[in-house]
Amino acid sequence: MAVDPRHILGAFLTLSMFAMLANMIKNDHFDSAEVSLPEGASGVQFDVMKVEDRGVSMLSRVSKGPWKEDDQELKPCWTKPGSKAEPQKGFITFSLSGGPEYHISQVADAVVIARYLGATLVIPDIRGRELGEKRGFQEIYDVEKFLKSLEGMIVIAKEQPAEVSAGKTAVVRVPNRVTEDYISEHIKPIFRTKGDLRLATFFPSVNMKIRETQKDINSVACQAMFGTLELQPEIHEVVGSIVERLRTLSRKSDGHFIAVDLRVEILQKRGCKESEGLGRKSCYNAQEVGDFLRKIGFDRDTTIYLTQSRWHESLDALKDIFPKTYTKEGIMPADKKGKFLNSESSEFEKAIDFYICSQSDVFVPAISGLFYANVAGKRIASGRTQILVPAQIPGSSASATDFVSPYVSKRNHLAYTCFC
């Protein structure tokens, strides 16, 4: 009996997401260096992240706490690539999975490959955690924005042609931040033979460090990463209403609030628990985040947004230190909870978290991973550079400037190659 390659791909994507998540928790890079993820390897941990480079501007006190005014918004320093020769016959299909932090990277790789091969890129669907769980691209992202942003760069099809759907499309595994050499050596020969390809991006490392690439590839990647994905209007409105509510609750701090990526289900996984007691950490729990923020000078009245969707008793320790700590459950408009919070899929919640963390006055990544890396990229581009990496602080106080993310203090995030 013939096996549908789409079923194989679906199973592969589901298993890959769990594997990537486990590896990234255990092995992520808080000094922004490239970290490969061989079996059993240990990565750079949180508490070695104290920044020695004092070249970062000092955090000014806007009100109570070490708040810093946003930097000037950067401008794109790449030129949008123009059209190439007539496109080749053949389609590139792929799916988005894992949340916006993965979607950004998956779109970038697919666009780079389609551009290099001269293939037609099919707008992706969005796969959930469970096998067979699928959403349309338009349910989360603005389709017209996506099409317009890539106009002239590549040819895009809104739907997969029937002949491609019915055929046995070759599945090609693609390493994140794919290079021109890799495409030429590993992907182009298959495309020439098969004509149609389905991409499955994998993450051998979490690497947002600046590296040399060919100018055309870099420009295409910049446009794809920072110019293509915008939330569809209804979700955009929900994000806006939550941000507005948080700013209203933060009147005593001039409307400033902190977003913390802290998810209880991730903290309970093996990769986070293994770091306990070793003097090196890749995850910080609610108590540790609260202690960190208090010691670097944030006032008790500070408003904090957590990416945890619903309240968990383990968060009480943080709320004891900062009473104005909220999850989506406690702050999302009531008429939106049914669709965006209580749905069977978590894709809406992930999208909301990513964009709120991108817009907050301060972002604190309590968990290492691609979420931190890609939120940092969006924040750098918009001038919101107060990204503070937690650490265990001896004594009663410390300077917030010592814990600014090296993505910012050392300017080694790839966003600095796209914006200037």
239 and 186 share one domain: no
Residue 200 has pLDDT above 90, yes or no: yes
DSSP string spanning 329-386?
HHHS-HHHHHHHTSSS-SHHHHHHHHHHHHHSSEEEESB-SHHHHHHHHHHHHHT---
Residue 195 maps to a domain: yes
337 and 253 share one domain: yes
* Owning domain of residue 315: 43-74+232-418
Alpha helices in 167-279 (DSSP H): 180-182, 188-194, 215-227, 233-249, 264-267, 270-273
Give pLDDT tens digits for 131-182.
Answer: 778 899 999 999 999 999 999 999 999 988 777 765 678 999 999 999 999 9
DSSP string spanning 145-192?
HHHHHTTTTSEEESS--HHHHHS-PEEEEEESS--HHHIIIIIHHHHH
103 and 146 share one domain: yes
67 and 159 share one domain: no
Residue that terminates a domain, selected from 193, 227, 261: 227
C-beta separation of 158 from 143 below 8 A: yes
Task: Say if strands 134-135 and 120-122 run parallel, antiparallel, or are unpaired.
Answer: unpaired
Q: CB 251: neighbour CB atoms within 10 A?
A: 11
For residue 9, the one-letter residue type is: L
Q: Which of 49, 33, 48 is nearest to 405 (CA)?
A: 49
Label residue 119 by pLDDT band (50, 70, 90). very high
CA 12, CA 17: separation in Å to the nearest integer?
9
Tokens at 311, concatenated: 């309240």
Give pLDDT tens digits for 376-395.
Answer: 999 999 999 999 999 999 99
**N-to-C CA span, the chain:** 56
Which DSSP state fits 297?
Answer: T
205 and 308 share one domain: no
